[in-house]
Chain A
Amino acid sequence: MATTTKHEIGKWDTFHNNGPFETRVMYKTHLEGKGNMPNWLDRYNDAAKEIQRLLQEALDKKEGFRGYGSGWSMSHIAHQKHNMHFNAFMNLKKAISFDEMHTSTNYKHENLFFFQSGNVIKEISNFLFDHGKSLKATGASNGQSIAGCISTGVHGSALNVGAVQDYVIGINLLIGPGINDNVYLERDTKHALNNAFAEKINARVIRNDAMFNAALVGLGAFGFVHGVLLEAEDRFLLKRYVKRVDKNTALQLAANMDFENADFHIPGETAANGKPNRPFHYKIFINPYVEDTEYVIELIFKKPYQVNYPDPIPIIKKAIYRDLIVLFTSIAERCKRSIPKIIKLLHKSILPPVDIELTGTLAETFWDAPYQGPAFACAVGIDAANSPEALQLLIQLARNEGPVPGIYAMRFVKKSEATLAFTRFPITCMLEIDGLIWNAKNNKMISLTGFCKRTIEVLIANQIPFTLHWGKNADWSFPGLVQHMYGNDATIWKKQRSKLLTKETAALFSNGFLDDTGLSEYFD
């Protein structure tokens, strides 16, 4: 049997030290050993039973319950004051076989894989690689759990792919302790697995587009995500360039995404007609405190997989234009993390020299990101067409009302079908600022909360539609925030949740974050 250990922790903190938060209990569930229970399915179902037992206990006490993976979110989305469940030891993996496919599916069974919620991106990538496959896109690193990724909308900068949730095509949810509370959910318009598969995991099937899209970026509020079905693709390589380009060219590309007709190109990255290729990934780095005439950009092009290529990890390990926080801490280390010195340096410094070119798989390119110390990150999503204007506004905010110890970056992601995806524009520019957590009083600076609040106010005042990254710092209690960002979609999300859950289980899967954002509202 799966075994759970209970820890009365009192306080819990995120990986990046954004807490601590008052927390009564943390549970850790370990799967039954392979020796005692060799069958994959038995162990998966055994774990489901154990989680449902914990759900019953929490319900009996009228308490909340929330699973979490790596704790990488900087907002309080993963936190639950009563019961938190550490999912990482629940990491079963399975390739889907032909006889588990729905008869009317358009998916190829060799591309479909089922993962238990505690699998982190790196182990998923390893498993897929062994099957000759790859994820379609990831975030800038690889430590997030798959359930955490989809629940908060983790994204990279894949212009034509989208965020992690956009290649998830089925979800197994435990929505309560009862026999009918094990649900396999997929779209009605895009069938993937057959009912026999759902029966094997003791789940009842719901095929419903609206409910699936709502539960996809479910913020942990649609039940305990136990398993995820995702569509992979054949292995591929990525060739990465980091360049300095004219600022206006970088921003023009951000606004129109018209790489094919840009006056900038990288030698060798052109089509037969001589026009520049469209990159897989585009990212811009900006130090808001200096008037650079050039910006640093990261361009990544997709290439067919081949066996013989130089090991990119030694280069990636030294590369600093990766995860924005890696870049920022490399700057901060020069000042021994002294906030006044960092601010002084940012005011006179251009960004460090660019990284050298490299080629690697997706998993290698977006490799491990070590712990960087207490860090913050704020990210707003805006239509790419509005991104130069939004950038100017937020640069002015950082200069006039800051400074804050951080730098900006822009990433670009294809629109998601998920109801509460923050990547909701045709191409969403994720305009983010990452940096070190600072003490506003000691340094006589604007506070992080104040800066986040002003970011929202500035975008509203300038009538720029926006969203916020669910897993990052923001003023989540800003009045009417979610309704402003999502309009009717916020109501649709709440209604779908109310349809799936009872009033009691909706409370079970709520937390402070949902209360702060008004998303815990239940429709009878």
Chain B
Amino acid sequence: MLIVLPCKKAIFLLSLLLYLGIVPACYSVRVMNKDAVPEPDPMNTSPDFYRGKLTHVLDTVIGLKLLDGDFHLIVKPCSSRGFYSFEYKVDFGGVMLSAITFGKKRKVKIKYVCIKETD
């Protein structure tokens, strides 16, 4: 059955659907190690949490086969020190990409800071 809506109503409904789709789909989660000291970077002058910290960014698309189970993305290691913080970001583009490829393509956006080397 085809439902024909007046133009304004259709735009409103479309906007609502997009809003409901986008807002919950865009989020970021930052996990922090409470006892750790971040690896410093005096050249990082970003006006946020990452100011003064050596920040690594990984922004890529991974491809999965249909029957792949766990997937391990190997990032540039913090040697044996571990992570000070780890931020995972999901945006609308990533959700859409995953949806239209039935999960075969996944956008991965990660920001992380290593623990400062200690002696």
Contacts and interface: CB of A to CB of B under 8 A. Distances in A.
Interface of A: 7, 9, 13, 15, 17, 26, 28, 31, 34, 40, 43, 70-71, 86, 88-89, 91-93, 116, 120, 122-123, 126-127, 313, 367, 370-371, 373
A371 B119 contact: no
8 contacts: A7-B43, A26-B42, A28-B42, A31-B119, A40-B119, A89-B117, A122-B37, A126-B118
A21 B44 CA distance: 16
B52 A92 contact: no
Interface of B: 34-35, 37, 40, 42-43, 45, 47-49, 51-52, 116-119
Given A34-B119, A92-B119, A371 B42 contact: no
B119 A93 contact: yes
A93 B117 CA distance: 12
A373 B42 contact: no
Given A13-B45, A26-B42, A123-B118, A371 B51 contact: yes
B49 A88 contact: no
Contacts of A91: 116-119
B119 to A, nearest CB: 5
A147 to B, nearest CB: 14
B32 to A, nearest CB: 9
Given A123-B118, A126-B118, A373-B47, 10 more contacts: A9-B43, A43-B119, A70-B40, A70-B52, A71-B42, A123-B116, A367-B34, A370-B49, A371-B49, A371-B51
Contact of A123 (B37, B42, B43, B49): B37
Given A88-B40, A313-B34, A71 B45 contact: no
A367 B37 CA distance: 11
Contact of B52 (A9, A15, A127): A15
Contacts of B43: 7, 9, 26
Shortest Cβ-Cβ A-B pairs, 5 listed: A88-B40, A371-B51, A92-B119, A123-B37, A86-B42
A370 B35 CA distance: 14
A15 B42 CA distance: 9
Contacts of A13: 45
A40 B118 CA distance: 12
Contacts of A88: 40, 42, 116
A120 B42 contact: no
A42 to B, nearest CB: 12
A89 B118 CA distance: 9
Contacts of B116: 88, 91, 123
A79 to B, nearest CB: 13
A18 to B, nearest CB: 13
A441 to B, nearest CB: 22
B47 A126 contact: no
B83 to A, nearest CB: 15
Contacts of A43: 119
A367 B119 CA distance: 21
B35 A126 contact: yes
A92 B48 CA distance: 29
Contacts of A40: 119
B52 A93 contact: no
A93 B118 contact: yes
Contacts of B45: 13
Contacts of A70: 40, 52
Contacts of B118: 91, 93, 123, 126-127
Nearest to B40: A88
B37 A126 contact: yes
B37 A371 contact: no
Nearest to A90: B119
Contacts of B40: 70, 86, 88-89
Contacts of B47: 17, 371, 373
A34 B40 CA distance: 19
Contacts of B49: 370-371
Contact of A15 (B35, B37, B48, B51): B51
Contacts of A120: 37
A456 to B, nearest CB: 31
A376 to B, nearest CB: 16
B48 A371 contact: yes
A417 to B, nearest CB: 30
Contacts of B119: 31, 34, 40, 43, 91-93, 116
A91 B43 CA distance: 19
Contacts of B51: 15, 371
A126 B42 CA distance: 22
A194 B112 CA distance: 44
B102 to A, nearest CB: 39
A363 B49 CA distance: 20
B111 to A, nearest CB: 15
A92 B37 CA distance: 14
Contacts of A93: 118-119
Contacts of A9: 43
Given A28-B42, A92-B119, A93-B118, A71 B52 contact: yes
B37 to A, nearest CB: 5
B27 to A, nearest CB: 19
A40 B40 CA distance: 22
Nearest to A86: B42
Contacts of A7: 43
B40 to A, nearest CB: 4
Nearest to A124: B37
Contacts of B35: 126
A74 to B, nearest CB: 15
Contacts of A89: 40, 117
